[in-house]
């Protein structure tokens, strides 16, 4: 017997509601998407959901300030907690430019964490 799951696509502001029919872990049918990006998003969301991690890290010698950072690409949801743990131990010295790598290969995902803004 198959199950149905609804996924709201977050790739663009349209926010299509995509229905995914699954049986024994296999996708049988998808409906409600308007483009291939949404189709891929819904497949990934059901089989291996990923998210961009946005958070902050400490700035060296600036105890009251933190630097906003994010992963360069989405990482598996199952790795978010491990990534946050690793970032707790990171502190960055100024100057920092937006896009600078703050932490390479976070949680073994192959994805780098980068600065979201400048700090001088």
C-alpha closest to that of 30 among 6, 50, 51, 10 = 6
In the complex, minimum distance from the CB of residue 36 to ligand SF4, in angstroms, rounded to a whole number: 8
CA distances from 22 to 19, 27, 37, 110 (A): 10, 5, 19, 29
Selected range binding ligand SF4 among 11-19, 51-59, 70-78, 101-109, rule: CB under 6 A? 11-19
What does the alpha-carbon distance between residue 53 and residue 74 come to, in Å, rounded to a whole number? 7
Q: Total residues contacting ligand SF4 (rule CB under 6 A)?
A: 11
Dihedral pair phi/psi, residue 74, rounded to 5°: -60, 145
In the three-class reduction of DSSP (H, G, I as helix; E, B as strand; rest coil), residue 83 is classed as helix
Q: In this chain, which of 2, 3, 6, 12 binds ligand SF4, going by CB under 6 A?
A: 12
Q: Per CB under 6 A, does 84 bind ligand SF4? A: no
Q: Per CB under 6 A, does 38 bind ligand SF4? A: yes
Q: Per CB under 6 A, does 15 bind ligand SF4? A: yes
Binding site for ligand SF4 (CB under 6 A): 9, 11-12, 14-16, 33-35, 37-38
């Amino acid at each position: 017997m198959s199950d149905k799951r609804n996924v709201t696509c977050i790739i663009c502001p349209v926010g299509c509601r995509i229905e995914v029919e699954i049986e024994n872990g296999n996708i049988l049918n998808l409906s409600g998407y308007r483009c291939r990006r949404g189709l891929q998003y819904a497949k990934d969301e059901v089989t291996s959901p990923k998210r961009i991690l946005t958070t902050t890290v400490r700035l060296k010698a600036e105890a009251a300030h933190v630097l906003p950072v994010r992963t360069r690409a989405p990482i598996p949801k199952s790795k978010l907690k491990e990534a946050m743990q690793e970032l707790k131990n990171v502190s960055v010295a100024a100057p920092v430019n937006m896009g600078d790598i703050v932490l390479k290969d976070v949680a073994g995902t192959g994805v780098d964490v980068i600065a979201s803004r400048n700090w001088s």
